[in-house]
Structure 1
Amino acid sequence: MISLIQFKQVLRNKRFILFTLFIPVTWYMILNNLQGDMMPNILLSIAVFIGVIGNSLATFSKRISSEIEFYKLESSFSNYSIVNYLLSQSLVQVLLNGLIFAVVTLVATIFFRLPFSNLLIYQFILLMFMGMYFSFIGFVIGVRVDSKVIDTISFPIIVLASITIIPFSHLAVESDFVNTVSTIQKIFPGYYYSQIVNSLVTSKEIQITDILLFVITIVIDLLPLYLLIPDKKSLKMNK
């Protein structure tokens, strides 16, 4: 019930509408015009990914930072741990990321003739995993950074996060710069997500190494951040 209420509250947030619905739809239209020869499912993946990043790193982190005082009040007279708080907020994030996927897919289907297939199901599942990855990062930012600071840094963070998942090796002419960016991308799960989706779209065999590295990079990237999540006692002393 609480998660549903929070879900409805987010839908009334103009920040959510801008960063996570309007921008990804716009990106899909731009990419469709610039990369008309690219398969529509890859364009969908990029556009939805941008929306998921905006939701997780901008809207979600700001919401956590703004509501952390309420959590501290609630936890002071209950056993509601920071992990419980993370899990309840994660459920809301799954619903929101699912909405982003549905909206962009609907626009792509109606206006750009995106075909319905089983591939959309696989893309949805992969995007939900990536959504949780970025939501975890957004949660850590929210509990550690003041909301006013988040307003300032949210856009640069979104840009940097987007760079980790956009398949430049498929979009741009090969060059030293593109090769360098692609190499850096390999330490983030977004690179392997793009590889898996590309294999699905082109009907190629999915490489087991891509799946393994997708999981491994998620764990390796998030483990240090988990250590940054404060306990209830630390929260009462900070922010």
Structure 2
Amino acid sequence: MIKLIQLKQVLRNRRFFFFTILIPCFWYLFMLNLIKVDQHTAASLKYDWFLVACLMGITGNSIVTFSKRISSGSRFYLLKARLSHYSIWHFMTDQLITQLILNVMIMMIIITVGLVLGTLSLNTSLLVSLLLLNIFGIYYSIIGFVLGLTMESSALDAAGAPLMVIAALFFVPFNTFINNSFEHFVTIIQQLFPGYYLYSIGTHLIDHASIQLDLIRFFISFCLTIIPFIMILWFKLIKKVGNN
């Protein structure tokens, strides 16, 4: 019941539709219109831009709107954690389930756009990509959860667009449209984070090649880069609540 109420509240939020649906769909349509290459490369690029659109939607949902939503109710839940057995871990788990549902909804809308345009096909490659995108959505939702509990709502409200741009820098495949020293530098940084490997996995899926190595890198980067946020959650919030 609580999750249903949360979903209804989110779906009434104009900020949610702007950052998670309108911007990703516009990006997807815009980039598809720019592709002027041979057929095989176009198929790979179209899939990359589909992944980017999904990642943008996930970012808008998990980093921008989710962190603001958590921040708005953080005092209540922190107080509840002190006075009851409803821990912050429990709170985060409930919120992540809601986030999972929202991320699936966002991706379904983008997939519908791709199917209508004929740039996507319903196949195993798409299903594997959706599974990995949902895992990445959990990753960004944990980060958004920590941001929401550690930052003021007003600050998150003002930083919505900048946060989305910064988050996008970690997964937008610049090497598909530029080739210079900046791109090389950004790519090196991107390789530290799981979003980078979704593109090579997608390309390998299209080419029916092995994705084992990229999957390993994806999960290693996922685990290593999420640790600092879990530590922040533990030392600044959970430990503090426990001591009180």
Contact 1:72 1:232 in 2 (8 A): no
Q: For structure 2, which runs of at least 5 residues remain unmatched after alignment?
A: none
Q: CA deviation at 1:129?
A: 0.7
Change (3 A) 1:61 1:235: farther
**Pairing 1:9–2:9 present:** yes
Structure 2 CA distance for aligned equivalents of residues 214 and 29 of structure 1: 27
How many residues are matched?
A: 235
The answer to which of 141-150 and 160-169 deviates more is 160-169
Q: CA deviation at 1:174?
A: 2.5
Counterpart among 103, 128, 153 of residue 109 in structure 2: 103
- Cα-to-partner distance string for 1:3-43 (whole Å, 9 max, x where unaligned): 12211211111111110011111111011011254323222
**Pairing 1:199–2:192 present:** no
Counterpart among 205, 215, 219 of residue 215 in structure 1: 219
- Cα-to-partner distance string for 1:43-96 (whole Å, 9 max, x where unaligned): 211101101001111000000000112213433431000000000000000000
Contact 1:42 1:201 in 2 (8 A): no
Q: Which residue number in structure 1 is paired with residue 31 of structure 2?
A: 31
The answer to which of 91-100 and 210-219 deviates more is 210-219
- Cα-to-partner distance string for 1:137-196 (whole Å, 9 max, x where unaligned): 101100000011011222112112112111222x12432222111111111111112211
- Cα-to-partner distance string for 1:211-232 (whole Å, 9 max, x where unaligned): 1111111111111111111435
Normalising by structure 2, what TM-score?
0.90
- Report matched runs for 1:132-151 at 5 Å: 132-151=138-157
- Report matched runs for 1:46-65 at 5 Å: 46-65=52-71
Identity %: 35
The answer to which of 175-184 and 97-106 deviates more is 175-184
Q: For structure 1, which runs of at least 5 residues remain unmatched after alignment?
A: none
Contact 2:82 2:242 in 1 (8 A): no
The answer to which of 152-161 and 134-143 deviates more is 152-161
Contact 2:66 2:145 in 1 (8 A): yes
Q: Which amino acid aligns with 2:201?
A: I
Structure 2 CA distance for aligned equivalents of residues 36 and 8 of structure 1: 41
Change (3 A) 1:14 1:36: farther
- Secondary structure of residue in 1 paired with 2:159: helix
The answer to which of 134-143 and 104-113 deviates more is 104-113
Q: Which amino acid aligns with 1:193?
A: L
- Secondary structure of residue in 1 paired with 2:232: coil
Change (3 A) 1:108 1:72: same
Structure 1 CA distance for aligned equivalents of residues 54 and 173 of structure 2: 14
Structure 1 CA distance for aligned equivalents of residues 67 and 207 of structure 2: 36
